[in-house]
Every structure is written in C-alpha cells, then in structure tokens.
Amino acid sequence: MHELSIAMSIVELAEEELDRRGGQITAVHLKLGALSGVVKEALLSCYEMACENTPLQGSRLIIDEVSVVIYCPNCQAQRPLSSLQLFCCSECNTPCSEIVQGKELEVVALEIQECAPNPA
C-alpha cells in the first residue's frame, strides 16, 4: 500500500502552489488513471491523514477516474480498453500494447478560497 506516500506527495505539491499564490485550498482535483497503480478508495482515506496539521486540513480530494485507451495498429485508431485483463482492440481483436491514456496521476486543479479582506 503506497497510497499514503502518494497522498503526501499530493499535499506537498498543493502546499507549494499555496506558497506561491496564498489563500486557502478547499479542494484538490486529481486525474487518476486505471493503470496508475493507485487505488481510489485507499487514496481518499490516506488523503485525510496526509492533510492533518497542514494548511490543507479539511480540504477535499476530488478524483476524476481516467479509463484506459489503447492504440490499435490495425485499425490505426484509438480504442477504449474493455478489460485490464485483455489488451486488445474492441473492434478487431488485434493485441495492442500502446497505451494512449490511463496512467495519469496528476493534480489538474486547485480550488482556492481567497483570504477575506480585512473588514477594518
């Protein structure tokens, strides 16, 4: 289980952005590929842990799951992969080893609450 170290990297990365921009992070948007080797549920619970005692405490992790798309050399086209247990073209059954998408592990956006201006 390496989701805790992944969660800590996410928090670290968000903190770096926070240092540059200021404000408060309320949510982190993550793209998570089906071939990233990271389990969504485990990552979500580790995220909460990783946020404790950091400026991200209380923020949400919003995960956008990315399915696998392969390239079929026979059809010369991108095809969605129907099963991780069978890397072949959904149209012509040609074995396909080229992965076009599905390995993502990427912070794509942050929701930042600007600090409220001082009422005085």
Binding site for another protein (CB under 8 A): 1-2, 5-6, 9-10, 13, 17, 21, 23, 26-27, 29-30, 35-38, 84-88, 95-97, 99, 105-114, 116
Q: Return the number of the residue (53 or 115) whose C-beta is nearest another protein.
A: 115
Minimum CB distance to another protein, residue 11 (Å):
10
Spatial separation of the C-alpha atoms in residues 18 and 5, rounded to whole Å = 20
- What are the phi and psi torsion angles at 82 (to 5°)? -85, -25
Minimum CB distance to another protein, residue 9 (Å):
5
Minimum CB distance to another protein, residue 67 (Å):
14
Q: Which two tokens stand for residue 74?
A: 């026979």
Q: Return the number of the residue (53 or 83) whose C-beta is nearest another protein.
A: 83
Spatial separation of the C-alpha atoms in residues 43 and 85, rounded to whole Å = 23
- From the list 54, 39, 35, the residue with the least C-alpha distance to 6 is 39
